[in-house]
Amino acid sequence: MDGTVEDLLSFKEFPLMNEASGSGSAQININSPQRSFHSPDEPSSSADQDGTPTGTTTAKPGRSIFSLEYYQQFFNVDTMIVVDRIATSMIPKRAPVNYLKLNIATNPDLYGPIWIVLTLIFTIAISGNMASYLQNTGNHQWRYNFHLVSYSATAIITYALLVPAALWAFLQWSVRGIELNIEEDEEEQVAIEPTTPSLLSLVCVYGYSLAIYIPVSVLWTIQVSLFQWLLVITGAFLSGFALLTILMPAVRKSRYSILIVLAIELAHFALAAGFMLYFFHAPDVETPAEVTPSLHKVTTSVVVNATMHSKSA
């Protein structure tokens, strides 16, 4: 028993190197994962010779469109990037010349555009009902129009998807026509880089361009026609000019650049004017209170004239 206690309390030396093996690697065995240290004279593995470190994982296979990892790349942005892109979509000349190529094309996101579109849909629907309530002040039969949500959603989603798709298709066709007409020199062949932005980049840019209409839609509830039209012009000019500044490097390479510029600006102005006229603007209709006195005056004059003719007869 005493010998056993002495054996437990005595210090012992444990070998740190595997002297039995002929390799020049040192192994540490202290109940932890083994770590080997290769000597300079020891040949490395085939993976090391290729430049790939041992123990690293290989490249991941292509992600399926039915997996969440595929769509995760479109939301790889932080708050500062989203705020910067919103400010760039509202302030003309804030974006540098290569903003589309360096900032948007390298990391196009759908996080900001989706939240902007959803916020704008409900903002226009709620503000439109507030404007309708102000227009019908004193009418106790007024009711909230829930159909404005579907109407605004249809208009905004259609604009945010179809307009970028049409612009992308037109740029693909017009720019490619210019590239095909260029004669390649056999002595100096210059590789032509893709000059048109991707469809995802255009959807991202157009989604952010709608951010200015969120505060404008709240101000549209003020029932002053001149003020509403000033908001339409201001919002469409600021957002449209900023949008054109971002897209101009790609639009300039098309042979129909002037036509594209006019189409972009007119579509943006038509969207703002359509929002104001359909959801917020009060129709200029003559009220029955103004019609009744005029009818009463006409009737009175007819009766007086008939009475005068009867007396003269």
- 10-residue mean pLDDT series, the chain (313 residues): 58 54 49 44 44 40 70 86 94 88 90 95 94 83 88 95 94 72 46 70 95 95 93 94 92 90 94 94 58 51 56 55
For residues 206 and 172, is the Cβ–Cβ distance under 8 A?
no
| CA 127 – CA 101 distance, rounded (Å) | 37
Q: What pLDDT sits at residue 160?
A: 95
Q: What pLDDT sits at residue 9?
A: 60
For residues 239 and 89, is the Cβ–Cβ distance under 8 A?
yes
Read out DSSP for 142-155?
----THHHHHHHHH
Whose tokens are 């032509």? That residue is 192
For residues 53 and 47, is the Cβ–Cβ distance under 8 A?
yes
Judged by DSSP in three states, 295 sits in helix
Q: What pLDDT sits at residue 301?
A: 59
| CA 222 – CA 131 distance, rounded (Å) | 7
Dihedral pair phi/psi, residue 36, rounded to 5°: -105, 140
Q: What pLDDT sits at residue 296?
A: 52
The radius of gyration of the chain's CA atoms, rounded to the nearest angstrom, is 36
Look up the pTM and report it.
Answer: 0.67
Q: What pLDDT sits at residue 66?
A: 73
Q: What pLDDT sits at residue 218?
A: 95
Q: Which uninterrupted H or E stretch holds 26?
A: strand 26-27
**And the tokens for 182?**
């260029």
Q: What pLDDT sits at residue 233?
A: 95
